[in-house]
Structure 1
Amino acid sequence: MTTILFNKPYNVLSQFTDKGSQGSPRQTLSDFIDAPGVYAAGRLDRDSEGLLVLTDDGKLQARIADPRHKLAKTYWVQVEGVPDDAALQALRGGVTLKDGMTRPATVRRMDEPDALWQRDPPVRFRKSVPDCWIELTIREGKNRQVRRMTAAVGHPTLRLIRYAVGDWSLDGLTTGQWRQV
């Protein structure tokens, strides 16, 4: 069994080929990882960064990706504005989205992560609007869920980094780097 932890950079597809490209090809996992037979367990959008678990074990892949298993996924989220206690409490209680109510989340305000790498391109900041980092842990995986949750409480996501999946984390991985576990 092969399991790989990869710190996916911004603007990289969570797949090994780019089937949808009309113009110049976009970066994929194959630009970083040369390990035949492994596939991403779950998805991480192209405009999101951070931990992606790849494996050749179908059971492990299902346990990570299937919401029925309620595996915790922790994100570092830079949001526009500074969420007050009511916004954080709304996230903790579950947020109503177009496709239904989210499960309760664990959330806290946090300082900018110490080991944070520069994003290319950088996040566009507005001088008149402050920003803030939160740590958000969910146990489901609706499409673009974290972004939709923060927007629903009035704080759009500026930058989204998946820090952990279950017991695995980004610790010790720089952007674009991977290791086998």
Structure 2
Amino acid sequence: MLKVNKEQEPDFLLDYKKKHTPKSWKDYNKDDIRNKIKENILLVEQEEYCPYCEKRIYTNDDGHIEHIKPRDFYPKGFQDYNNILVSCNEKNSCGIYKKNNYDDKFINQVIDNPNDYFYYSIASGEIIPKSNDKNSNEYLRANYTIDILKLNSYELKEARKALIDALEVYRENYEEYSEYIQYFLDDGHNFPSLIKLFMEL
């Protein structure tokens, strides 16, 4: 998971609210506003990554607007810019799995720093709670979030393991391997937090 540093609400969105006075999310249906919101969040705040699984989101069609606290249970949250992210939109993806699931245990990357809660198993490609204390708040929150988003789905684990294997090849065969690994980050490869972790090993 990636930390998301929200910017100030963009002027185009403030203008839209002033002009149309939306009463619910359904009212965000004019002036191509949803695509504008997605594009702004993806480019300005998320560097074109899904903040949950860390896969690249290349186009607006690949992502959907994600209300961290679901609209159905937090009706006022639909207007809160800090409650909006863009997550991937594939059939079996983290944002789709999350749906309306939410509990205060959920790690909110706008408020919480995921690096405080998660670590990766280099052996398996799994994302795991950083805390070893299964009764700790940190462990329970991390485990809940992993389960809700299915961050250890077969596809994600295999993709992370393939990346780890590729990074291992660079580390074993190149003296200046950190430069090669940096290329993975600069090139916008999936799973940037895993790549950064690998650079620290």
Could you say whether these structures have the same fold, taking a TM-score greater than 0.5 normalized by the shorter chain as the test? no
Larger Rg: 2
- TM-score norm. by structure 1 comes to 0.24
- TM-score norm. by structure 2 comes to 0.23
* Higher RCO (Cα < 8 Å, 6 or more apart): 1
Higher strand share: 1
